[in-house]
Amino acid sequence: MDMDVDETCKAQAEEKPLLVILVGAPGSGKSTFCEDVMRSSSRPWVRVCQDTIGNGKAGNKAQCLSSAANALKDGKSVFIDRCNLDREQRSDFVKLGRAQIDMHAVVLDLPAKLCISRSVKRTGHEGNLQGGKAAAVVNRMLQKKELPKLSEGFNRITFCHNESDVVAAVNTYSALGPRDNLPHGCFGQKNPDAKVQVGIMKFLKKAPADAASSENSIRNSISPQTFEKQGSSCKAVEKFSSLSDNAVLKSKEVEKPAVRSGSHASHVSLDDVPTLAFPSISTSDFQFSHEKAADIIVDKVLEFSDKLGNARLVLVDLSHKSKILSLVKAKAAQKNIDTRKFFTHVGDITCLYSGGGLRCSVIANAANWRLKPGGGGVNAAIFNAAGPALESATKERAKSLLPGNAIVVPLPSRSPLFVREGVTHVIHVLGPNMNPQRPNYLGNDYGKGCKILQDAYTSLFEGFASILRTQAVQSGGRNEGLGTKSLEHSENSPRNHLTNTDQKMKRDEVHESEKRRKYKGSEDDFEIDFTHSRAGKIDIKEKKAVASTHKAWGSWAQALYHIAIYPERHKDDLLEISEDVIVLNDVYPKAQKHVLVLSRTEGLDCLSDVKKDHLQLLKKMHAVGLKWAEKFLQENASLSFRLGYHSAPSMRQLHLHVISQDFDSKHLKNKKHWNSFNTVFFRDSVDVIDEVSNHGKATLKDDDKLLAMELRCHRCRSAHPNIPRLKSHISSCRASFPAYLLENGRLVHAAAPAEAGSS
């Protein structure tokens, strides 16, 4: 795309208002959420609150609807600050959405005890819901709770289960500029069927009617340490940290075997408390003594564990046989370090969440002095996983690094690590070198080496502390990741030249607009199409087809497009390159063999863009996909393959999936993954070729209900309650495939391979 076209597209992009419906019980923090975002956001927001809609007094739903509609008409984004705990209450607000408005829900599904304690303690509430009556109201409302679903009409739903989730959501919406969009989908949902949180009924049996006795009941229900920490003021109760949440409701702790198997912590909650994952500095390529390094790690963790509040530190290595992990684990146990605040973990530091469910908002990189990609080990892995965005962001912060120092780099939102893993910052740290083949060799001087390594870990942990302080300031001081003691220490630190910069940093990078972002048609055209649809009484399926052709692709969905346009930049990752197509492995394969055949035609973003003119390209893609399927069958004749397209792909640029039917993959994790390949949402390539040949377009099956269907075996069609049970079944199921798959070459197997262009 040349610069003139690029600028034209940018000029055509208009501000797209958001309508964000807050969902949560009284005391969940809806009003505070709105105020925090509106205080720091550059996007124009309007808060619509029923408690104050009537000139500062309580009003009704109709007034809220009218106020929201007027604000949206003026191009402003809107927060609907009501409880909205059931679908019926939300439905009228959802109807306000139209083609040029993004419909979001933010669900503040915090522990019931926390909501009740806040409601009981507060005074001067806008809706006068406070004191002893609040407990009964919260209980009654939570019993009728219906969590929102995308099928209601939302583009995006964010679930917040603790204060760390809330802070992350506040930061996300605060960082949105007027023209920025967020990825669509459902984020953070844990248990969609939960109606009343565990333990609430037992708790409420003790709740008396008057405020004073209610306060005592709540105080007795929560650990004394929590109340000592929080104090008796309303503001203190509002500041419950996620650590307090864990103390209140142990049942909220989530145990994920994938993480527990590699961690020495036996009772670690995987709630999203601030977490720094770091490798052992200097013990690999720099050949520092493991024994001495382990002592320094444990001493520094012990020094910082209390100063970091409820934040966690995680030492990560790739191997279960790691010597440094074993040493640190044993030494940490000897010093009785709290395993909720520090533990070791076996895994790849670049995919801790996607590979095992361990959320780490910050990761450390064992960098080289030039702060450059390349080399090997952790440095190469992190730069590769983060993409060019990390190198660019690093250059803006520093060009070199001295041993014993660290530099904090905010990770731009276009980085795959940000999108896939939720990593917001990378901290580059450089330790001492005991390898004569590397720069700054210390000649086996461990006196000097130990001092430098101690400084390196101090700089690293202080960098993490600076991030927590910045987030606390941005969230109005509610994040209790740091205690007062920590703040005093950091202000007096000799390395404050590193952290002061980080305290002041602005996250402008977080939602940078992509230079090459483009919209398929202007928003005016979008509105016209829908106006004509209403006038002509076109059904909802045709409206969805129109919407698909005008989809605005966020920066996170552009990866395949950039590979198609600039394959020379990615040649090491590609299996095949030709003038028309590219073949590459799916980054998150859903089966033993899963490759993508990617069209190189610019402007052909997805199946809805395909016309009869593209028929030869479709046949070429099918032929290439078939060639690779047959190649895999020569290696393993027991496999079977399907070739097809998703009706509504999440990634821009038309691509054909070639996927084996074993579905044996750690990346196949949820119902959406399964149903996107095993319902009519997945369109077989031969059928698409037939339809385009005969009708000039493919039939799209873009329906959220398809992805939410029950889990059924793709062979025998038996139903299963969850993915683990389904995987266990399909690993042994030997039923023949359904008859329709055995027709027209839809199924490719060793006995009777399908032929390209069978249409």
What is the C-alpha separation between 554 and 514, in angstroms, rounded? 8
The pLDDT, as a whole number, for residue 340 is: 82
Q: Which residues pair with 78 in a beta bridge?
A: 19, 46
The pLDDT, as a whole number, for residue 476 is: 55
What is the C-alpha separation between 102 and 100, in angstroms, rounded? 7
pTM exceeding the 0.85 threshold for the entire prediction: no
Residue 433: helix, strand or coil by DSSP? Answer: strand
The pLDDT, as a whole number, for residue 280 is: 95
Q: Which residues pair with 57 in a beta bridge?
A: 54
Q: How far is CA 560 from CA 218, 604, 674, in A?
A: 53, 12, 22
| pLDDT tens digits for range 697-727 | 998 876 778 888 999 999 999 999 999 999 9
| pLDDT tens digits for range 608-641 | 999 999 999 999 999 999 999 999 999 999 999 9
Mean pLDDT by 10 residues, the chain (759 residues): 42 68 90 89 89 79 90 91 86 82 91 82 60 70 83 89 88 84 82 46 41 37 34 32 32 35 39 84 92 95 87 90 91 88 90 82 92 84 91 89 93 87 93 89 92 95 90 58 41 36 36 34 31 35 39 67 85 88 93 95 89 93 95 93 93 95 93 94 94 92 82 93 93 91 90 44
The pLDDT, as a whole number, for residue 54 is: 76
The 3-class secondary structure across 237-259, one letter per residue, is: HHCCCHHHHHHHCHHHCCCCHHH
The pLDDT, as a whole number, for residue 131 is: 57
Other Cβ atoms closer than 10 A to 39: 12
Amino acid at 176: L
Phi (first) and psi of residue 305, to 5 degrees: -60, -40
Q: How far is CA 733 from CA 308, 662, 719, in A?
A: 50, 10, 13
Lookup result for tokens 């005592």: 216
Residue 633: helix, strand or coil by DSSP? Answer: helix
What is the C-alpha separation between 125 and 40, in angstroms, rounded? 23
HSE (side-chain half, CA atoms, 13 Å) at 621 = 31
What is the C-alpha separation between 221 and 135, in angstroms, rounded? 13
The pLDDT, as a whole number, for residue 115 is: 83
Q: Known catalytic residues?
A: 655
What is the C-alpha separation between 623 and 644, in angstroms, rounded? 12
The pLDDT, as a whole number, for residue 691 is: 93
Other Cβ atoms closer than 10 A to 331: 18
